[in-house]
Amino acid sequence: MKTPVIAIGLDAADPLLLEKWMSQGHLKTLNKIRQQGIYGRLNNTVNYNNKTVEFSSTEPLWVMFSTGCLPDKTGFWDTIKFDPETYKVVCDKIYSGYDYKEYNPFYALGNDYRVAAFDVPVSGLSDQINGLQILGWGGHYPFVPSHSQPPELLPNIIAQYGKNPVLHKDNGRWWDPVYFKWIQQALKTSISTRSEICRDLLQREPWDLFVTAFGETHSAGHDLWDRSQPDHQLYPYQSKKNGKAGDPMLKIFEAVDDAIAKIIAAAPKDAYILCFAVHGMAANVTDLMSMMFLPELLYRYNFPGKYAITPSKIGVTPPAPITRPIRNSWPGEVWRKIYEPNPIKQLFNTWTHKAFLQSGQHGLLSPYPLMKHKVQLGWMPATLYTPLWPKMKAFALPAFADGHIRINLKGRERDGIVDPSEYDALCDNLTDFLYRLTDGRTGEPLVKQVVRTHNVATDDNPKLPDADLVVVWHECPTDVVDSPDVGRIGPITYNRPGGHRARGFLMASGPGITP
């Protein structure tokens, strides 16, 4: 007789946060599992050019979970792909996940096991699963189509329980009170409905394995961290707005904890219960460092004496963080910082309607046409620099986690300008340039590690990442960056409050498992 396994993911639920809350008497269901069974933290690493490096990128980590393989084996490093022939990047929010053609999910167990998989992020339908599969009902940008096996299952679930209110709609707009109110209610509705669907599926038959994930913890971490945790620079300003309502992120996690209790109650009494997170969350470092600062730093590196974003003076105490953004989008906030030496024109850029800000400047694209036409990654500041990439020795690729730098290599890029014989020297020079970066507010170094991903410049292994250099940042969020080489950038408006960390966790209870 097989003992059933119920595996429940809490997407991006940070172990340090959970441990703190459990010690304070919160999250009673999770704490019970922890006390009755086993618990441990996980730490994620990958291999870049035979070097072990910590790793916190969501989508490859979920593929690592599903396949048991590192990215150097699957070739899946990122949802963003760069084409050296066109200098274009592709990131489709549905179809840019892993295809599972070479490696199946671990729960594709064949005919000997009955398996139900519901909303596992960055997964795929497999004909080796004997049971049912539902993908893309909800989640935080799960990079899967909304479909199922059997095909009629998801439409039937939607007909009975409704569509997920959060899917592809959460964007971390922390300054918008309407969005703040909406995301809390939408997440609570999503959690409650997800629990109902899980209990429905569990009661259809005795599964050998039931695997699911709560994407709501991921969305809550990105969107509510500044209202909840004092490690965020905006916490002193934002937490005051909570008033008597209390910690909004804790409330979402408490709702998930209650939902897990109901799922366990519907599961077989002798089941193994596993709860896990493949990575964690803390105050966001990478949205500003990888998406915004790194592209501008490389712009200034490539074009000495020029600025795309307005420079500030090193050595002067920076003004307070921006707590009341003027624009209704983060790209708009970045674009109002575009360099303009004429103060009258600078004022125009800050306050005029976006209809009059459609033209590019300093070789950069304006974000407004990109967002209007829904260009992939058009909202990310790194994308604005794409017209200049053919003229640059090295440029920052759009990235969701670590910083990614591509060398514009002769013989590889269409308009490559760096000779392969110059590759090593350029990588060394860029590495030194990056290690000199400091936090403009504290003076602390910003770069933890710069890693080369290619053993030789001309290595064309298709399973290598697109980036030639990967920049791992220190976990010190900042809105001001100082470079002794190219000057100061910032303050810049923060994007999503929460950002990822390489740590995850696993807890389990059940027959034979003792604390």
What pLDDT is stored for residue 356 in this prediction?
Answer: 76
Residue-level pLDDT at 353: 80
Instruction: State pLDDT tens for residues 279-312.
Output: 999 999 999 999 999 999 999 999 999 999 999 9
C-alpha distances in angstroms, 80 versus 294, 368, 445? 17, 21, 28
Q: How far apart are CA 70 and CA 132, in angstroms?
A: 27
Average pLDDT over every residue of 424-443: 99
The C-alpha torsion from 57 through 59 and 65 to 67, rounded to 10°, is -130
Nearest to 241 by CA among 186, 185, 177, 184: 177
Taking 80 as the threshold, does the pLDDT of residue 156 lie above it?
yes
Q: What CA–CA distance (Å, rounded) separates 334 from 361?
A: 13
pLDDT in tens, 85-140: 999 999 999 999 999 999 999 999 999 999 999 999 999 999 999 999 999 999 99
* Residue 342: predicted pLDDT: 84
pLDDT band at 1 (very low <50, low <70, confident <90, very high): low
Tens-place pLDDT, residues 459-477: 999 999 999 999 999 999 9
Question: Rounded to the nearest 10 degrees, what angle do helices 177-202 and 216-228 cross at?
Answer: 150
CA distances from 349 to 327, 334, 338, 358 (A): 11, 11, 8, 11
State whether residue 333 is helix, strand or coil. helix
pLDDT at 107: 97
Across the chain, what does the average pLDDT equal?
Answer: 97
Span 45-93, pLDDT tens digits? 999 999 999 999 999 999 999 999 999 999 999 999 999 999 999 999 9
Any idea which residue has 């002067």 for tokens?
316
Q: What are the DSSP calls for 347-401, one per residue?
A: HHHHHS-GGG--S-BTTBPPHHHHHHTT-TTTTSGGGGGGGGGGG-SEEEEP-SS
Residue 251: its pLDDT value, please? Answer: 98
Question: What number of CA atoms fall less than 13 Å from residue 367's CA on the CB side?
Answer: 21
* Amino acid (1-letter code) at residue 468: D
Q: How confident is the model at residue 333 (pLDDT cuts 50, 70, 90)?
A: very high
pLDDT tens-digit readout, 235-254: 999 999 998 899 999 999 99
Q: In this structure, how many other beta carbons lie within 10 angstroms of the beta carbon of residue 353?
A: 7
pTM above 0.85, yes or no: yes
510 or 515: which leads in pLDDT: 510
Percent of the chain topping pLDDT 90: 94
Strands 469-473 and 403-407: what pairing? antiparallel
- Asked if residues 276 and 505 have their Cβ atoms less than 8 Å apart, the reply is yes
For the stretch 35-49, pLDDT in tens is 999 999 999 999 999
**Does residue 393 contact residue 372 with C-beta atoms inside 8 Å?**
no
Helix (H) or strand (E) segment spanning residue 470: strand 469-473
User: Facing residues of 248 across strands?
Assistant: none
Question: Does residue 418 carry a pLDDT above 60?
Answer: yes
Q: Where in the chain is the domain with CATH 3.40.720.10?
A: 5-282+503-509
Partners of 86 in the β-ladder: none
pLDDT tens figures, 214-233 = 999 999 999 999 999 999 99
Number of Cβ within 10 Å of residue 238's Cβ equals 20
What integer pLDDT is reported at residue 348 of this predicted model? 76
- How many Cα atoms occupy the beta-carbon half-sphere of 485 within 13 Å? 19
Overall CATH class of domain 5-282+503-509 = alpha beta
State the Cα–Cα distance between residues 74 and 100, nearest whole angstrom: 9
Chain centroid offset of residue 63 CA: 14
At 311, is the secondary structure helix, strand, or coil?
strand
Q: How far is residue 398 from each of residues 130, 212, 237, 255, 401, measured CA to CA in Å?
A: 39, 30, 30, 34, 9
**Edge-to-edge strand ranges of the sheet holding 447-452:** 394-397, 403-407, 469-473, 447-452
Report the candidate in 106, 116, 48 with the shortest Cα–Cα distance to residue 467.
48
Instruction: Flag whether pLDDT at 396 surpasses 70.
Output: yes
pLDDT per position as a tens digit, 336-388: 999 998 887 887 777 788 877 788 899 999 999 999 999 999 999 999 999 99
